[in-house]
Every structure is written in C-alpha cells, then in structure tokens.
C-alpha cells in the first residue's frame, strides 16, 4: 500500500501523485481523497481520471485526514495492491428506484466470488442525496453480515449538491459507489453522544427531512429542547454552530442508537438531516463533550483491533472515516482524536457527511457524527 499527499490540491498534483504511485508494479488500483476547497470540476478532472491506466475510485470531502492533521485543501492518493470490483448506483435521491433490484445481479456475482475472511467493501455516497439509508439497507439485504463495510458521504459543507464521487468514468453526483476489494480489515464504530431528552415520535418526515416531532413542528420542538439545555437562543445566524453539538439519536432494536445530524432547516419548520429519518421512528436529542467523543474514537480503534486479522494490528495502516461535524465540535482537540485512532500505523481518511460501516458481525448502518476506524492489511 503506497500513500502520497500534496496540500496544494491542484489537478496537476493529482496527476503527478497518480503517476508516481503507478510506477510501482504491485499497484492495481488508486483510492483518491480530495478536498471540496480544491474546486475540482468534471470538465477539468474527467480527462485525468479516464486516462489513468488502473481503476480509480474515491471522493471529494469537506476535509481530508493525513497523518495527525486535518486539511481543508489537498489531495491524497493511495495505491492499493488489489483489483477492485466497482459498482456505480445512480439516482440516489429518486424515490422510485428499487435499490434491492439494482443490487440483485451484482450481489449474485459477488456472492459467487465470495472470499469471506479477505473481503472489504468500501462505500462512498453523495452525502447530500436523500435516500442514502435506503441504499445502505439494500446493501445489507444483498450481502448480509459476512463482509466488512466502511465508507461515508462525500460533498460540501456549503450544502450545495455537486459532483463529488470519483469513478473511472469521471466525477459524478447523486450516486453511490460500491467497491469490493479482496483486502483484510478490522472495523470499529463508536460515537460518544448521550441522550438528554425523553423519547419523541417522528410524526411526519419526508425522507431526510423531519417535519414534526410529537405533532409539533420539528424546528420549534428542537429549539425548545436545545435552548433549555444550552441556555442559548437558537437563531438563523447561529443555528449551525449550536446544532453541531445537538444531534438526534434514532432508537434501534437492541438499544442501539444511530445518530442523525440536523444540518440545516428547510426554510420552514423542518430539519434536514444527513440520512433518512422514517415517520413513526422514535428519537432522543443527544449531546456530548470533547472527552466523550475522544473516548469513543479510542473505543472504535479498540473494536477494530478486536476484528483485525493482522498479528501486529497496532502498526496497521488506518483508514479513518470521521464526521465533519466532529472536527467542527472538537476544533483544536481534533488532534487528540486523531492520535488515539492512529496508534503506530499510518493514518489517512476523510471528514465526511455521514459514515457507513459494518464489521462483519453488526448491522450495516448509515451513521452521523460517528467515528469509523478500519485497520487494513498491508501487503
């Protein structure tokens, strides 16, 4: 596994890094992380991606991780000694698409090629699409618990949806990218957020927008709870700075809580979240502290070690998928979170709009505000 980073974030640097890594004969594919601030467009990047002699996949994210730092600008290229099976799923906001049917043929093919202990599936999605959770549920139905999954949402903190997924055919949007690699890994997931309210019923929602809670307009109910706990008045100007510390938790079977991040309002009384929140589900308001979040990142690292195949897991390369709102919440303390995740291995990854994970034992899920750690087999 070869990793090179350049903080300029230019397309010229992407070309040079790719050419340098491809000089290694054992590299069979490229994983690319870019920053939204790079300003890449399909017109500029597509000719580069299409001309590469090896398959390429990845995404453009609000920030990327390399070493013990987070970057607003830059490009990270990882040369992998694995040939990928790449599946692109279009129309990730279309309510008419049946993702179970879309995945039926690929899943049959991949199940025939099944390599249980040595398979990892990387999933990147357009983080501003409206049916991410539906796709993730379909992936679970298609592939079950036998494989490790890791990935997250690409896109921009401007919340303007634009092309953000890197494929061999170019830069695309409103889609999902599912990549199977014959690679061993160990995956851990944890978030560190705690309930601070009674359970509330989502009495009306539209995919990723909560419209009402206990029959009260969602924005009004949310502001009431946040203001009571924080002592601050929520306004249009300070909404995001306050909301980053107050996500929702969806109650799941077995006591599991899956976090949903209310990124912005819909201009009325609704709350637009990263990922769907079904009508009829029950949620709590959550809150956390820097200590609970950093402790959760360490827990994710430890869980990854428990499922890692390497005998020296502390030295394994670490793919870290961390929610962008965690760095906005932790600010300068993000370096402490990165340090507990890295161990003695090389750390790289992205700050995402939602996280995707399964460690081969637990339910595949689309998370928000969560740390996902994958220790990779480096051959």
Q: Are residues 242 and 320 in the same domain?
A: no
pLDDT over 90 for what percent of the chain?
76
- The string of pLDDT tens digits covering residues 58-111 is 999 999 999 999 999 999 999 999 999 999 999 999 999 999 999 999 888 887
Q: 256, 287, 318 — which closes off a domain?
A: 287
* 254 pLDDT higher than 60: no
pLDDT over 70 for what percent of the chain?
95
Q: Could you tell me the pLDDT band of residue 251, with boundaries at 50, 70 and 90?
A: confident
- The string of pLDDT tens digits covering residues 37-51 is 999 999 999 999 999
Give the other-Cβ count within 10 Å of 137's Cβ. Answer: 18
Compute the distance between CA of residue 191 and CA of residue 239 in angstroms, rounded to an integer: 22
Q: Which of 319, 358, 354 is nearest to 338 (CA)?
A: 319
Q: Which of 166, 126, 156, 154 is nearest to 44 (CA)?
A: 166
Q: Are residues 264 and 281 in the same domain?
A: yes
Q: Are residues 63 and 20 in the same domain?
A: yes
Q: What is the mean pLDDT of residues 9-21?
A: 97
Domain that residue 224 falls in: 194-287
* 119 pLDDT higher than 70: yes
SS (H, E, C) the chain: CEEEEECCCCHHHHHHHHHHHCCCCCCCEEEEEEEHHHCCCHHHHHHHHHHCCCCEEEEEECEEEECCEEECCCEEEEEECCCCEEEEEECCCCCCCCHHHHHHHHHHHHHHCCCHHHCEEEEEEECCCCCHHHHHHHHHHHHCCCCEEEEEEECCCCCCCCCCEEECCEEECCEEEEEEECCCEEEEEECCCEECCCCEEEEEEECCEEEEECCEEHHHHHHHHHHHHHCCCCCCCCHHHHHCCCCEEEECHHHCEEEECEEEECCCCCEEECCCCCCCCEEEEEECCHHHHHHHHHHHHHHHHHHCCCCCHHHCCEEEEEEHHHHHHHHHHHHHHHHHHHCCCCEEEEEECCEEEEECCCCCEEECCCEEEEEECCC
Q: Are residues 23 and 159 in the same domain?
A: yes
Q: 287, 316, 343 — which closes off a domain?
A: 287
Q: Which of 338, 368, 147, 163 is nearest to 246 (CA)?
A: 368
Distances in whole angstroms, Cα of residue 320 to Cα of each of 40, 291, 337, 355 = 23, 19, 11, 10
pLDDT on residue 257: 82
Q: Could you tell me the pLDDT band of residue 266, with boundaries at 50, 70 and 90?
A: confident
Q: Are residues 125 and 250 in the same domain?
A: no
**Total of domains in the chain:** 2
Compute the distance between CA of residue 374 and CA of residue 300 in angstroms, rounded to an integer: 9
Mean pLDDT of the chain: 92
Give the other-Cβ count within 10 Å of 87's Cβ. Answer: 19
- The string of pLDDT tens digits covering residues 274-319 is 888 999 999 999 999 999 999 999 999 999 998 776 656 678 899 9
Q: Are residues 100 and 162 in the same domain?
A: yes
Q: Are residues 176 and 59 in the same domain?
A: yes
Q: Which of 339, 348, 324, 317 is nearest to 5 (CA)?
A: 348
Compute the distance between CA of residue 178 and CA of residue 224 in angstroms, rounded to an integer: 40
Q: Which of 148, 372, 96, 179 is nearest to 258 (CA)?
A: 372
* 335 pLDDT higher than 90: yes
Q: Are residues 30 and 115 in the same domain?
A: yes
Q: Are residues 248 and 321 in the same domain?
A: no
């Amino acid at each position: 596994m070869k990793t090179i980073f350049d903080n300029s974030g230019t397309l010229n640097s992407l070309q040079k890094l790719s050419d340098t890594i491809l000089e290694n004969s054992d590299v069979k594919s490229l994983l690319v992380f870019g920053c939204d601030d790079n300003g890449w467009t399909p017109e500029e990047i597509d000719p580069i991606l299409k001309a590469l002699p090896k398959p390429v996949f990845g995404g453009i994210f609000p920030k990327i991780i390399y070493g013990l730092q987070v970057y607003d600008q830059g490009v990270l290229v990882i040369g992998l000694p694995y040939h990928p099976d790449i599946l692109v799923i279009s129309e990730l906001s279309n309510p008419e698409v049946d993702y179970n049917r879309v995945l039926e043929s690929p899943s049959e093919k991949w199940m025939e090629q099944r390599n249980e202990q040595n398979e990892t599936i990387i999933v990147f999605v357009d983080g501003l699409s409206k049916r991410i959770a539906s796709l993730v549920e379909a992936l679970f139905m298609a592939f079950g618990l036998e494989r490790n999954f890791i990935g997250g949402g690409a896109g921009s903190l401007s919340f303007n949806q634009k092309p953000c997924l890197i494929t061999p055919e170019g830069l695309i949007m409103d889609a999902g990218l599912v990549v199977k690699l014959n690679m061993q890994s160990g995956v851990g997931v944890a978030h560190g957020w705690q309930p601070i309210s009674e359970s509330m019923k989502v009495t009306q929602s539209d995919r990723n927008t909560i419209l009402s809670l206990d029959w009260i307009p969602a924005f009004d109910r949310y502001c009431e709870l946040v203001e009571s706990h924080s002592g601050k008045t929520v306004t249009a100007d300070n909404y995001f700075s306050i909301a980053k510390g107050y996500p929702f938790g969806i109650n799941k079977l077995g006591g599991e809580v899956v976090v949903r991040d209310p990124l912005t309002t819909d201009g009325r009384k609704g709350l637009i979240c990263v990922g769907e929140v079904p009508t009829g589900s029950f949620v709590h308001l959550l809150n956390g502290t820097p200590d609970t979040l950093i402790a959760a990142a360490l827990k994710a690292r430890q869980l990854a070690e428990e499922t890692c195949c390497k005998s020296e897991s502390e030295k394994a390369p670490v793919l870290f998928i961390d929610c962008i709102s965690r760095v906005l919440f932790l600010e300068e303390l993000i370096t402490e979170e990165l340090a507990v995740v890295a161990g003695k291995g090389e750390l790289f990854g992205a700050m995402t709009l939602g996280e995707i994970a399964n460690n081969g034992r637990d339910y595949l899920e689309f998370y928000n505000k969560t740390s996902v750690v994958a220790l990779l087999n480096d051959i």
